[in-house]
Amino acid sequence: MPRFVALLAALLALLIAACGGDDAAPKDPVENVPQEAGVREQVKVAVSPEASEFPSVDGKTLEELANEMTAGPSLGMATSVFTAGGPTRMAFGVIGEDGSPVYGPTAVYVSSAPDQPAIGPFVAPADVLLTDARYRSKQAATEEDPFAAIYAAQVEFPERGQYDVLSVTKLPDGKFTGATGQVQVSSQDADPIPGVGDKAPKVKTDTLESVKGDQALLDTREPPSDMHANFAEVVGSKPIALLFATPQLCASRVCGPVADIALQLKAKYGDQMEFIHQEVYVDNDVSQGLREPLRQFNLPSEPWLFVVDKSGKITARLEGSIGVQQFEDALKTAL
């Protein structure tokens, strides 16, 4: 019996150790970027660009600005909804001629036509897409050539219409390289998607109950996450991060990791807010169209993140590819 008591005492000591303080120190997401080929260093300097690093417009047209840059990379837009009359988020990747992402301090310029005066620069900090390894889904972990980071700028379009975009990335040798694209900008009134300050539609998001126990319908992430509460039941009682995404059916190279990022941040903020992931397509079949909750939010694309505060109001809205930092910043708006 004394030996049994000794064993109990040892176990008690273990329990006390387990109850000790949380020693977790904040980790810089850039540490998750691989060091090979100097990518981590490139991303590191791309995280905090300064407007002063980039050419001033000085009345130049977008074409004139573009002519000052080395051509080569192409611009991959990761957002599709832009509104005029205030800052609107533009997420994008810059892809080199060899297909690899180009990282460096980056900004964007816009104009209503190539021969019209450019507006900018709008700095586009790089935001890391790679989570801590333990939060990577099978889809993300087996991605052959993952995007380490995405750029996101807050762009101000003066009015609705079509705009030309020039992204400018500063290379390690100090030269600039440019890539061009086009976007369609609508007015805020014409934007049907609930925005910041709006009451979030009380949608019924899928739960194990609603999909009749079919986990494969509930979550295409491998392994599936546990972020599947019913939004309609939670809203109004606590802050919510509502993510519309489909890890398996995501069409681009940059939208897949958002569910992983949500899972990582849930480990940090999960006791303060609810994290809900809603799959996108009916029966996970693209041809069957979008699921009801996405229709009620009038979403034309995926992924989307809506952060909703305790009162049910939207405090942040992010479309497309979202990095760890922007995701976390968005969460903080509701806390």
Partner 1 sequence: MRKLAPAAALAAGLLVLLPAAAEAHGLVQRPPLPIPQWLFAWAAAAVLVISFFALAVLWPTPRLEQDNWRPMPGGRLLASRPLHIALGGLGVFLFVVTIVAGYMGGGTALDNWAPTFILITFWVGLVFASILFGDLFRALSPWRAIGRLLPSLNRPYPERLGRWPAAIGLFLFVWVELVSGWGDSDPALLVTAALVYTVVTLAAQVYFGVDAWTRHGETFSVYFNLFARMSVFETRNGVVGLRRPLGGLPGLDRAPGTVAFVMVMIGTVTFDGLSQGPIWRELSTGVVDTLDGVGIGAVDATKIASTLGLLLGVLLVWGFYRLGIEGARSVGGNLSLSRLEFGFIHSLVPIAAVYVAAHYLTLLVYEGQAITYLASDPFGRGWDLFGTVNWGIDYRVFPQENTWYVQVAVVVIGHVAALALAHDRALRLYGEAKLAVRSQYWMLGVMVGFTSLALWLLAQAGN
- Residues lying near partner 1 in the complex (CB under 8 A) are found at 1, 3-4, 7, 11, 14-15, 18-25, 132-136, 138, 141-142, 208-214, 216, 220, 222-224, 226, 248-249, 263, 266-267, 270, 284
User: How far apart are the C-alpha atoms of 245 and 294, rounded to whole Å?
Assistant: 10
Residues ≥6 apart with Cβ < 8 Å to 233? none
Measured CA distances, 12 to 22, 23, 255 (Å): 19, 21, 46
To partner 1, the closest distance from the beta carbon of 56 in angstroms equals 42
Q: Pick the closer one to partner 1 by CB: 57 or 249.
A: 249
Q: Give the whole-angstrom CA distance, residue 272 versus residue 86.
A: 30
Please say which residue, 52 or 287, places its beta carbon nearer to partner 1: 287
Q: Which of 331, 189, 217 is nearest to 278 (CA)?
A: 217
Q: With respect to partner 1, which residue has the nearer C-beta, 197 or 213?
A: 213
Q: Smallest distance, Å, CB 163 to partner 1?
A: 37
DSSP secondary structure, 239-267, as one string: -EEEEE--TTT--SSSSTTHHHHHHHHHH
Phi, psi of 224 (to 5 degrees): -65, 150
Min separation Cβ 212 and partner 1, Å: 4
Q: 218-237 as b/e, with b when 16 or more CB fall inside 10 Å?
A: bbbbeebbebbbbbeebbee
Query: What is the smallest separation between the CB atom of 320 and partner 1, expressed in angstroms?
Result: 22
* Cβ distance to partner 1 smaller for residue 159 or 214: 214
Half-sphere exposure of 322 (CA within 13 A, CB side): 28
> In which region does residue 161 sit, left (phi positive, over 0), alpha (psi from -120 to 50) or beta (all else)?
left
Tell the smallest beta-carbon distance from residue 6 to partner 1 (Å). 9
Closer to partner 1 by CB, 7 or 113: give it. Answer: 7
Three-state SS for 12?
helix
Return the structure tokens found at 23: 């020693």
Shortest distance (Å) from residue 207 CB to partner 1: 8
CB of 302 within 8 A of CB of 255? Answer: yes
Whole-angstrom distance, CA of residue 282 vs CA of residue 208: 15
Minimum distance from residue 218 beta carbon to partner 1 (Å): 11
Q: How many CA atoms, within 13 angstroms, populate the side-chain half-sphere of residue 211?
A: 22
**Which of residues 137 and 315 has its CB atom nearest to partner 1 in the complex?**
137
Closest contact distance (angstroms) between CB of 25 and partner 1 is 7
Q: Select 251 or 267, whichever has its Cβ closest to partner 1.
A: 267
Report the nearest approach of partner 1 to the CB of residue 28 (Å).
12
In the complex with partner 1, the residue whose CB is nearer, 17 or 37, is 17
Residue closer to partner 1, measured from CB, 284 or 333: 284
Whether residue 194 is preceded by a cis peptide bond, meaning omega within 30 degrees of 0, is no
CA distances from 289 to 218, 275, 283, 292, 295 (A): 16, 24, 9, 9, 9
